[in-house]
C-alpha cells in the first residue's frame, strides 16, 4: 500500500470519527420514516428529520467553474447525490433515473427542484469532464466538487461517505460511495434522505417511483 492510499485511509477514518463527533454535538432529533402506507418508525425508502438538520458551511466549485456553497441551495428543493463520472453502475443509473422523473419532481413542488451531483473524485473529474457528463443526462443538473479537505466535512455532514481504492495515483481506480440521495429544503437545511432498496441480484439504487412518491410526501412536512 503506497503513501497516498495510507493518507486516504487515514482521512476516511478521521471523517468517520468526525461524523460521530458531529452527531454527538447535535441536538436530539426524531426521524419520521415514510412508507408506502404512510408514516411509521421504520422505512427502507426515506427518513425525514424533525427538526431539520443544520448544513454546515461548505465551499465547492461547480461544472461551470462557479462557486457552489450553501447559498446555492436556498430557495429550492435540492436532491444531492454523491458519486464520480467513472462510476460503472450506480451513478449513471441514478442520474438516468433522476432525469426520467425530473419533470414530475418539478410539477410536485411550488418551488424549483435541482439535482446536485457531488463528485468524490476531484483528481479525474475536472470541470470539463463534469460538464460533459451532466450534458449527457440533463444540462439542468448541477455538478460540483472540490479538494478532499472540503469534500470530507460536507459528505459526513450529509450522512454520506466515500473511499478511494486500488492506487489513487493511477488513472484507473474505484471510488466506493454512498448510494443514498439527500434532500435539502428551501431553507438550506438537511430535510431527509432517500435510501436505496436492497434487492437480491440487483445494484442498490433509489427507485424512481418510490422516490417520486416519497418526495411528494416529504415536502409537505414542516
Do 81 and 115 meet the contact criterion of CB atoms below 8 Å apart?
yes
Longest CA pairwise span in the chain (Å): 51
So what's the pLDDT on residue 167? Answer: 59
31: cell is: 426521524
Closest CA to 145 of 17, 59, 21, 43: 59
Cα dihedral value 195, 132, 168, 22, nearest 10: -40
Block mean pLDDT (10 aa), the chain, length 222: 42 43 42 42 72 96 98 98 96 97 97 98 96 96 98 97 76 91 98 90 90 93 74
Write the Ramachandran bin of 114: left for phi over 0, alpha for psi from -120 to 50, otherwise beta. beta
Distance CA 178, CA 190 (A): 16
So what's the pLDDT on residue 32? Answer: 53
Distance CA 130, CA 133 (A): 5
Closest CA to 143 of 176, 180, 171, 114: 114
Do 210 and 114 meet the contact criterion of CB atoms below 8 Å apart?
no
**Tens digits of per-residue pLDDT, 50-70?**
899 999 999 999 999 999 999
So what's the pLDDT on residue 200? Answer: 86
b/e map 91-118, b = 16+ CB within 10 Å: beebbebbbeebeebeebeeeebbbbbb
Do 53 and 189 meet the contact criterion of CB atoms below 8 Å apart?
yes
Write the Ramachandran bin of 75: left for phi over 0, alpha for psi from -120 to 50, otherwise beta. left
So what's the pLDDT on residue 163? Answer: 94
**Tens digits of per-residue pLDDT, 164-183?**
886 555 778 999 999 999 99
Model pTM score? 0.81
Distance CA 82, CA 145 (A): 10
Amino acid at each position: 500500500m503506497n503513501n497516498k492510499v495510507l493518507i486516504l485511509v487515514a482521512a476516511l477514518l478521521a471523517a468517520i470519527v468526525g461524523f460521530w463527533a458531529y452527531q454527538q454535538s447535535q441536538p436530539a432529533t426524531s426521524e419520521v420514516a415514510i412508507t408506502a402506507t404512510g408514516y411509521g418508525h421504520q422505512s427502507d425508502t426515506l427518513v425525514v428529520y424533525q427538526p431539520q438538520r443544520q448544513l454546515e458551511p461548505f465551499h465547492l466549485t461547480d461544472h461551470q467553474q462557479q462557486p457552489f456553497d450553501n447559498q446555492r441551495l436556498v430557495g429550492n428543493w435540492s436532491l444531492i447525490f454523491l458519486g464520480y463520472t467513472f462510476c460503472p453502475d450506480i451513478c449513471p443509473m441514478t442520474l438516468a433515473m433522476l432525469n426520467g422523473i425530473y419533470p414530475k419532481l418539478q410539477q410536485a413542488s411550488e418551488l424549483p427542484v435541482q439535482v446536485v451531483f457531488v463528485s468524490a473524485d476531484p483528481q479525474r473529474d475536472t470541470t470539463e469532464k463534469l460538464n460533459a457528463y451532466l450534458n449527457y443526462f440533463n444540462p439542468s443538473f448541477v455538478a460540483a466538487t472540490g479538494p478532499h479537505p472540503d469534500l470530507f466535512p460536507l459528505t459526513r455532514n450529509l450522512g454520506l461517505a466515500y473511499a478511494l481504492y486500488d492506487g489513487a495515483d493511477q488513472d484507473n481506480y474505484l471510488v466506493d460511495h454512498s448510494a443514498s440521495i439527500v434532500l435539502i429544503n428551501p431553507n438550506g437545511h438537511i430535510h431527509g434522505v432517500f435510501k436505496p432498496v436492497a434487492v437480491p441480484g440487483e445494484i442498490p439504487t433509489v427507485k424512481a417511483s418510490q422516490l417520486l412518491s416519497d418526495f411528494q410526501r416529504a415536502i409537505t412536512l414542516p
